[in-house]
Amino acid sequence: MSGWYERVARPVLFRSGGGDAEAAHERVLRWLARVDRQPLPRAVAAGVARRRHGAGEERTVFGVRFPGPVGLAAGMDKDGVALRAWPAFGFGFIEVGTVTGRAQPGNPRPRLFRLPASEAVINRMGFNNAGAAALAGRLAAIGPLSVPVGVSLGKAKVTPLADAVGDYLVSLRLLAPFADYLAVNVSSPNTPGLRNLQDRAHLATLLDALRTETARPLLVKIAPDLAEPAIAELLEVCLASRVDGIIATNTTTRRGGVAAGDSELAAEAGGLSGRPLGARAREVVRFVHAETGGRLPIIGVGGIMSADDAALMVDAGASLVQLYTGVLYRGPRLVREVTRRLSSG
């Protein structure tokens, strides 16, 4: 199966849309959305999803029961157009978004680039999404899924930093009723000023407002580019604001580990994901786990390209993991391989 994807499916996928990475991504989503909409394919996908997980794969983290430890990271299905299809691949949870209070087109295209020699991706999407109201309507229409759904919340580009709290609250109020957990994205490098929300004063104000509004599990997604003292300060705020967990990490603006063959593309602005991020993401997970004494559960994400990578992430302190770029390069079988590895002890 692995040979089939890497020899046949991936080359076709990478060539589709004339090599435009975003066009290929959209094509896959359209196909999965058709599966999601049609009764027979949907029934088949639901049956496959029910058989994907065994009792040994279950775990409960921040009060939520996950049938499997491997999730789909935010960004793959921002608007939740294929929610009923993803569990059939073996995902134990799905994170949609990042969503903003109002619809926005994101940054100008091209804004998504593959770095195949590095097994990496650079994106500067800019939170392109249909808005919180549209996502809430879709989640209401779909109803409960067989796996938990997290919703990643962000700030619209046009919203001044001083008004960020209100922007997040608009999305939270619309989406909390449909979310098993809420992820507060203050770490994307592609919305101007967003990472300033990781500073103590901004973050405390934001998290206190969100915590007052909902009892749903609240997680904070952090950047891998923060120095340890800054991460420690952020964690103090999270603990004081009764945050339920951390997602570590978002993409990086650094370009360490990029292969020479990708040097031209590496100059593109945006966040880097994939293999070059793996070591740093694990370092951040290890630091968060040690700094909090395990009091804040961690979803580890970044550079997980194999079952061994996932095991290292868990060894560093993650309770769950998420995949995105690894699935692009390895195919859906990566989900099952990681799940089996993490469930085997």
Q: Which sequence positions are flagged as catalytic?
A: 188
Mean pLDDT value of segment 294-301: 97
Across the range 279-283, mean pLDDT stands at: 98
- The stretch 204-220 carries a mean pLDDT of 97
- Can you give the pLDDT at residue 1? 42
The stretch 301-316 carries a mean pLDDT of: 98
Burial annotation 16-25 (CB, 10 A radius, 16+ → b, else e): beeebbbebb
Q: pLDDT tens across 64-94, in order?
A: 999 999 999 999 999 999 998 899 889 999 9
The answer, yes or no, to whether residue 49 has pLDDT greater than 60, is no
**Residue 128 near residue 156 (C-beta atoms within 8 A):** no
In which band, very low, low, confident or very high, does the pLDDT at 344 lie, cut at 50, 70 and 90? confident
Domains, in order of start, for the chain: 2-343 (3.20.20.70)
Kindly give, in sequence order, each residue whose CB lies less than 8 Å from that of residue 290, ignoring residues fewer than 6 positions away.
Answer: 317
Question: Under a CB-based contact definition with an 8 Å cutoff, are residues 220 and 238 in contact?
Answer: yes
Q: Which range has the worst mean pLDDT, 48-57, 281-290, 299-308?
A: 48-57
**How confident is the model over 266-275, as a mean pLDDT?**
96
| CB-side neighbour CA atoms (13 Å) of 37 | 9
Q: Which of 122-131, 194-203, 256-265, 313-322 has the lowest mean pLDDT?
A: 194-203
Stretch 154-170: mean pLDDT: 94
